[in-house]
Amino acid sequence: MKTRVDRACLVVLLLVGASTGFWAFVAPESWHASFPGFGLDWLPRLGPYNEHLARDTGAMFLALATLSGAALRRVDDVVLTRAAGAAWLVFNALHFGFHSTMLHMYGLLDQVLSMGSLGLVTGLALVLVLPGRASGQGASR
């Protein structure tokens, strides 16, 4: 059961990392102007456009996507799966913490969507880090 849950978490994290990373790296100005999409624009309120920062952010998300893909390919490798979860957890816990101090810049809908999406990604990473329930043989995943 833990392997199936981990696989699902890794798929979502891979998609988040790849889509955000590709957009930020390939079209950094568009990403800054209109992230997260769907008619919302969260980034311009946090500061002026910076191509270097946007592309670095994209590269970081692509690196996390790559790690997630490697862990997904070898989901039974507990060390690799937990390492992927730990990398996402460190990034997203800090990311969540920062954005929680910036909520005053947004309306209620944007606050809920921002904290909800960051909370979801942080929660998925936490699931990967936590061990599974002990199996009948006494081992945990």
* Tens of pLDDT, residues 52-106: 999 999 999 999 999 999 999 999 999 999 999 999 999 999 999 999 999 999 9
- Is the residue at 135 inside a domain? no
Residue 120 lies in domain = 2-129
Q: What is the mean pLDDT of the chain?
A: 93
Pick from 78, 58, 94, 59: nearest CA to 10? 78
- Is the residue at 137 inside a domain? no
| Rg from Cα positions in the chain | 16
Could you give the CA distance from residue 56 to residue 21 in angstroms, rounded to a whole number? 9
- The pTM of the whole model exceeds 0.95: no
- Is the residue at 93 inside a domain? yes
Token pair, residue 62, equals 């692509």
Q: How many separate domains does the chain show?
A: 1
* pLDDT score for 135: 54
Which of the four pLDDT bands, split at 50, 70 and 90, describes residue 15?
very high
- Is the residue at 139 inside a domain? no
- Is the residue at 25 inside a domain? yes
Dihedrals phi, psi of 101, to nearest 5 degrees = -90, -5
- Is the residue at 136 inside a domain? no
- Is the residue at 38 inside a domain? yes
- Is the residue at 122 inside a domain? yes
